[in-house]
Amino acid sequence: MDKPMHTPLQQHDAQIADLIKKETARQKDGLEMIPSENHTSDAVLEALGSRLTDKYSEGYPGMRYYGGCEHVDAIETLARDRAKQLFGADHANVQAHSGCAANIAVYVALLDPGDTLMGLKLDHGGHMTHGLKVSVSGMYFNSIQYGCSKDGYIDLDEARALALAHRPKLIVVGGSAYARQYPWAEFRTIADEVGAFLLADMSHVAGLVAGGVHPNPVGIADVVTTTTHKTLRGPRGAIILSNGHPSTPLKRVERATENMPTLIDRAIIPGIQGGPHNHQTAAIAVALNEALQPAFTTYANQVIKNAKTLAEALMEHEYELMTGGTDTHLMLVDLTNKGVTGKQAERALGVSGITVNKNTIPHDPRKPFDPSGIRLGTPALTTRGMKEAEMKLIAGWIDRTISHHENENALKAIRREVEELCVQFPLHRGVYDVC
């Protein structure tokens, strides 16, 4: 009998296999409530683990530096077409390796070193690539940062005043810890007033946009970036969307809205990357196809329903939520009145089998590594098929955990209850037949 060409990972590398099993068990037996995380389908995982990872394909479909790209050309074309269909864009670049790379590519496309960009402060719910001083976006460009008011809403008056004072070449709207709908149109008005390009980073809400429960920035912003995991429920990767019609990707063109596709394509390669990750592109294509199905609209609606139910239940337990609730998949909780820090809450909830992340709140008097708040959301819970009844139950567990955050026996008792719930909602459930 011929010896098999491949051996299972457990036989080939038991250490890695065991660690993967442990991580899978952690997800299976607990509640993933970090709002930037979700559970992919088996189909996405199959594409991600395919032989496509072996193929080099620098360039774009029909214009590669390598031979043997006919099949990856077809895959990338499908991914681009599905992205354009889903979000209503003229052009889609699906090669960015991550959301950070996508944003940096936009800066390379539209800015020169030292130009001024303006984005939301990280500790007010923005992202490090929106101008944080220790990020490339803040080191290589002149970063101006707007924030939120005391109530947690984006301060549009401050943003407009800063834009008028500093005349940025590019304004970024979007973030990672903002619980309300992003004001794309209001920022379009500000950008037009000062002659700036507008970048909408919809990474957190892309799945909600796809499901029709959050306004679409395509057609409002000059360029839109998004990751492909989070609410979109795909693999880790990114997409850059724009309107206009691309010419040859390497051709030098004026920095103008009508030339955005060419500018973006040229910024990705040769600007900041080499070869694309073809297995990632294929998995993105699979996820986009899932998001084009009617069931995904049901899913996105349920994410919002679950988030609103969870927020209301937490407020009934006297938790203070920034902006007083949520319009999206996430909420930001100020724990000051509970006498615990975000770091303490994150640890205790982890022991209870509930994964969240510590997070600053706007105008937080505490440091980022030991902040006043936690950030939590409902995308992964909804993928598993959980609905409003489970959200109310989970709110009770969160309250019990934080109330007994130093009592290890109490936390372990909650964990057993969490595990019993998780048995009823397996990881694979909901990706195909949610709601």
Closest of 382, 246, 364, 371 to residue 306, by C-alpha: 382
- Beta pairing partners, 403: none
How far, in Å, are 65, 179, 220, 265 from residue 184 at the CA level? 38, 15, 7, 24
Domain count, the chain: 2
Q: Is residue 203 located within the same domain as residue 267?
A: yes
Are 334 and 226 members of one domain?
no
Residue 163 and residue 89 in one domain: yes
Please report the pLDDT score of residue 2 as a whole number.
52
pTM of the model: 0.95
Task: Give 28-83 pLDDT, tens digit per residue.
Answer: 999 999 999 999 999 999 999 999 999 999 999 999 999 999 999 999 999 999 99
Distance CA 145, CA 155 (A): 11
Q: Answer whether residue 148 shows pLDDT above 70.
A: yes
Token look-up 């920022």 returns 187
> Within this chain, do residues 55 and 102 fall inside the same structural domain, yes or no?
yes
- CA atoms of 390 and 377, how far apart (whole Å): 13
pLDDT tens digits for 186-212?
A: 999 999 999 999 999 999 999 999 999
What tokens does 20 get? 């993967």
- Is residue 306 predicted with pLDDT exceeding 70? yes
305 within a domain of the structure (yes/no):
yes
Four-CA torsion 18, 20, 22, 28, nearest 10 degrees: -140
Class of residue 403 by CB neighbours under 10 A (exposed 0-12, middle 13-18, buried 19+):
middle
168 in any annotated domain: yes
pLDDT at 7: 66
* Separation CA 111–CA 262 (nearest Å): 15
**Mean pLDDT in residue range 13-21:** 95
Question: Is 20 a member of any domain?
Answer: no
What is the share, in percent, of the chain residues with pLDDT greater than 70?
A: 96
Report the C-alpha gap between 294 and 333 in whole angstroms: 33
Give the CATH number for residue 333. Answer: 3.90.1150.10
Average pLDDT of the chain, as a whole number:
95
Task: Using alpha carbons, select from 274, 271, 276 the residue that is nearest to residue 109.
Answer: 271
* Residue 356 DSSP symbol: -
Nearest to 57 by CA among 71, 46, 47, 42: 71
What does 359-375 look like in DSSP terms, one character per residue? E--TT-SS-TTS-SEEE
**DSSP 8-state code for residue 404:** T
**Residue 416 burial (C-beta neighbours within 10 Å; 0-12, 13-18, 19+):** exposed
Domain boundary among 233, 256, 291: 291
Both 408 and 320 in one domain: the answer is yes
- DSSP annotation string for 239-278: EEEE-S----TTS---SSGGGHHHHHHHIIIIII-SS--H
Whether 286 and 301 map to the same domain: the answer is no
Q: Is residue 41 part of a domain?
A: no
Q: What integer pLDDT is reported at residue 111 of this predicted model?
A: 98
Cis ω before 270 (30° cut-off from 0): yes
Shared domain for 281 and 322, answered yes or no, is no
Q: What is the pLDDT of residue 253?
A: 84
Of 291, 308, 327, the position where a domain reaches its end is: 291
Query: At residue 262, what are phi and psi to the nearest 5 degrees?
Result: -65, -45
**Pair 251, 388 in one domain:** no
> Residue 92 burial (CB < 10 Å; 0-12/13-18/19+)?
buried
Would residue 353 be called left, alpha or beta, if left means φ above 0 and alpha means ψ between -120 and 50 degrees?
A: left
Q: Tell me the backbone φ, ψ of residue 203, rounded to 5 degrees.
A: -50, -45
CATH, residue 105:
3.40.640.10
Flag whether pLDDT at 433 surpasses 70. Answer: no
If we measure between CA atoms, which residue out of 393, 400, 395 comes closest to residue 414?
A: 400
| Span 253-299, pLDDT tens digits | 889 988 999 999 999 999 999 999 999 999 999 999 999 999 999 99
Answer with the residue of higher pLDDT: 247 or 218: 218
pLDDT digits 0-9 by tens, 420-432? 999 999 987 444 4
Q: Is 114 in the same domain as 260?
A: yes
Residue 383, in any domain of the structure:
yes
**CA separation for the pair 226, 217 (Å, rounded):** 11
Contact 374, 307 (CB under 8 A): no
Q: Is residue 28 part of a domain?
A: no
210 in the same domain as 175:
yes
Amino acid of residue 434? V
Of 252, 268, 291, which one is at a domain's C-terminal end?
291
- The verdict on 278 and 311 lying in the same domain is no
Residue 404 lies in a domain: yes
Q: How, if at all, do strands 330-334 and 373-377 pair?
A: antiparallel
Token pair for 426? 């397996």
Q: Give the residue numbers spanning the domain of 314.
A: 297-424
Helix ranges restricted to H, 136-205: 136-139, 156-166, 184-194
**How far is C-alpha 70 from the geometric centre of its chain's CA atoms?**
31
Quote the Cα angle for 282-229-238, to 5°: 65
pLDDT at 432 (0 to 100): 44
Residue 5 has pLDDT above 60, yes or no: no
435 pLDDT tier (thresholds 50, 70, 90): very low
C-alpha to C-alpha distance for 134 and 113, rounded to whole angstroms: 15
* Terminal Cα distance for the chain, rounded: 48
Is residue 351 located within the same domain as residue 221?
no
Confidence of residue 245 (pLDDT cuts 50, 70, 90): confident
Tell me the average pLDDT across 328-339.
Answer: 98
pLDDT digits (tens, 9 = 90+) for 401-416: 999 999 999 999 999 9
Catalytic residue numbers read 56, 58, 201, 227, 230, 236
pLDDT per residue as tens digits for the range 108-142: 999 999 999 999 999 999 999 999 999 999 999 99
In a domain, 337, yes or no: yes
